[in-house]
Every structure is written in C-alpha cells, then in structure tokens.
Amino acid sequence: MSRLLCLLGLPCALFAAPLFAADIHLKVSGQKSDEGHYLVAVYRDAESFLDSKKAVREVKVTTAEGKAGFTLSDLAPGTYAIAVIQDKNENGKLDTNFLGIPKEPLGASNNAPLRFGPPKFDLAKIDLKDTLDLDVALQEY
C-alpha cells in the first residue's frame, strides 16, 4: 500500500515543484563599456555571500551595447542576494589590485554600497516570493 501511495504522490510532487518557483528579471546598468561578460552569482545566506563556490546559481552573460537584461529562472522562494561582476578580461574572476581593491566593475542586489569593502549580505538581500524585476547598478572603485 505504501508503495502505491509513493507512486501516486510522485507525479504530484513533480508537477507541483515548478508552481513554487520564481524568476528574477535582472537588469544591469552603470557599465561604461561592453568589454568582457557579466558573472552573476546568487547566494542564500551571509556565510556563502561572495564565495563563488557556494553560490546556488551562477550565470555568465554576454555584454551588449551597454545593456544587459536576462532572467534567473526557477528559484525557490526565499531570501537571496545577487552579485554581478563585469569580467572585462574574461578570466572568470574579479581582478583586484595588490590591496584587494577591485579593478573591474561590480554590483549587488539592492545596489548595496561598496564602501570600505565588499557589499554586505544584509544590505543586498532580497525576499523572493514571486517574479521580481531587479536593477543592479555596477560600481567602480
């Protein structure tokens, strides 16, 4: 009997999962050139924020004519923070100088400020319940 219930419940679970997913329509602004591409990373908590190995989603997007718009699809509702880097030299990482100051434009959700260090998760976090339109303005040091 339990086997039958599992078989009956499986299709429901498979079809219900997409109903609870949300999308983020992300627009990147503030770029001064079309060099390279954008590295976009989505994080769930402060402990993982800005550690690309701990991102729940990473996307590489081509730059085009000073505009960038794309969708991050099928994210479970919850709290997230997003970081965007314009990887001008396309080496797959944020380049910094010898003091650790970024040499490439970067930004975070809620346009969290980059004062005296990287943006803070608490300032960048967003509450995703439904489809969300989000603008991230790139900043340079």
- Cα 4 → chain centroid: 40
For 59, 121, 141, the CA distances from 116, given in Å and listed in that order, are 27, 15, 10
Mean pLDDT estimate for the chain: 85
Q: With 50 as the cut, is the pLDDT of residue 38 above it?
A: yes
Nearest-angstrom CA–CA distance, 26 and 29: 10
Give the pLDDT mean for 39-44.
96
pLDDT in tens, 54-97: 999 999 988 766 667 889 999 999 999 999 999 999 999 999 99
68 strand-pairing partners: 28
What percentage of the chain exceeds 70 in pLDDT? 84
Q: Which domains does the chain have, with CATH numbers?
A: 21-137 (2.60.40.10)
User: Phi then psi for 19, rounded to 5 degrees?
Assistant: -65, -25
Give the pLDDT mean for 109-113.
96
Q: With 90 as the cut, is the pLDDT of residue 6 above it?
A: no
pLDDT band at 31 (very low <50, low <70, confident <90, very high): confident
According to the model, what pLDDT value does residue 122 have?
A: 97
107 vs 18, residue with greater confidence: 107
Q: With 70 as the cut, is the pLDDT of residue 110 above it?
A: yes
